[in-house]
Amino acid sequence: MANKVWFITGASRGFGRIWAEAALERGDIVAATSRKLSDVADLTERFGDRVLPLALDVNDTEQVKKAVAAAHGHFGRLDVVLNNAGYSLVGTVEEVREADVRALFDTNLLGTLRVIQAALPILREQRSGHIVGVSSVLGLIGIPLLGLYSASKWAFESLHEALAQEVKPFGIKVTILEPGAYATDFGSAASVKVSTGLEPYAALRQHVVSMISNMDQGDPRATPDAVLAVIDAEAPPLRFFVGSTGLPRVRDAYQARLGLWEQWANLSNSAQGQPTKGVVSL
């Protein structure tokens, strides 16, 4: 198997760093990006010219274009485009500030979109490539205090689901990675913005924080083999749970959703009216 060329956002820490190192350790080539070049520059000391450290703020469209072009120009191709950059916003729907929500979506959704749009002309010309996005189990279910983070990831999931259908004819693969709770620094001050709390939600906040604090957290160092196997698969899945906690939680949530839809199906169907065929403008 030929060594793959990766472009990774958010490679300074957490999953981005762990998976970048795993790819390099097996002989792959990585353009490792971070908002601060110094946070990824140390990789060259260990892996030499198989790594290209790049400064990249995914909120800067021109910088995204230049970074993707620099990686392609340096290595001659791109095989895996891994969007890992992102952060969380903690607060109830009433508590969050609009400006904070805009900033969250600018990074988690539009930042990913910028990278994909910059990479797609290269991947289409190659007639190959694998776009991989790091979502979350919370991209499939919602919990209190993390509704806006979930909303950014639900949009992230929809973007990739549509993308997979659009780029399949060009030989481009798409995978969404959906980790559960892991012992990374994703909960650190650098990765989370916390909204000012309102007193009526104090008890709920305490309950949710306690619940999250008592969750079993996975070992992020146990993830590379599974992630690399997905990347190397001839027919990789569109969605892949990273860890053992996602499937049981989502199975329960989806069973509840289906049950509720079925319960109200007769009323839903009554709203259909008489079927007609019309022209839909796109």
CB 138 within 8 A of CB 87: no
| C-beta atoms surrounding 279 within 10 Å | 4
Residue among 33, 102, 87, 42 at smallest CA distance from 65: 33
Model confidence at 186: pLDDT above 70? no
Model confidence at 196: pLDDT above 60? yes
Contacts (Cβ under 8 Å, ≥6 apart) of 34: 10, 11, 12, 40, 53, 55, 56
Catalytic residue among 34, 153, 173, 182: 153
Range of weakest confidence among 116-130, 151-165, 177-191: 177-191
| Per-residue confidence band for 280, with pLDDT thresholds at 50, 70 and 90 | low
In angstroms, the CA 161 to CA 184 distance is: 27
135 a catalytic residue: yes
Cα atoms found within 13 Å of the Cα of residue 60, Cβ hemisphere only: 12
Orientation angle between helical segments 147-167 and 112-126, nearest 10 degrees: 10
| Per-residue confidence band for 274, with pLDDT thresholds at 50, 70 and 90 | confident
In angstroms, the CA 16 to CA 236 distance is: 19
Catalytic residue among 34, 135, 136, 150: 135
Task: Tell me the backbone φ, ψ of residue 252, rounded to 5 degrees.
Answer: -65, -45
Residue among 73, 66, 110, 87 at smallest CA distance from 12: 87
| C-beta atoms surrounding 117 within 10 Å | 13
Q: Residues 157, 109, 144, CA angle at the centre, nearest 5°?
A: 70
Indicate the CATH number for domain 5-266. Answer: 3.40.50.720
128 a catalytic residue: no
- pTM (predicted TM-score): 0.94
Catalytic residue among 149, 150, 152, 173: 149
**Domain locations in the chain?**
5-266
Q: What is the pLDDT of residues 223-244, one digit of tens each?
A: 999 999 999 999 999 999 999 9
Model confidence at 88: pLDDT above 90? yes
Strand partners, 54: 33
Across residues 169-176, what is the average pLDDT? 98
In angstroms, the CA 108 to CA 110 distance is: 6
Q: Please give the sequence-ordered ranges of beta strands (E in DSSP) within the chain, or none if there are none.
A: 5-8, 29-34, 51-55, 80-83, 88-90, 129-134, 172-179, 192-194, 239-242
Residue among 249, 112, 238 at smallest CA distance from 180: 249
Q: What is the DSSP string of 10-32?
A: STTSHHHHHHHHHHHHTT-EEEE
In angstroms, the CA 259 to CA 264 distance is: 9
Q: Which amino acid makes up residue 89?
A: L
66 a catalytic residue: no
Q: Give me the chain's average pLDDT, please.
A: 94
Across residues 176-195, what is the average pLDDT? 80
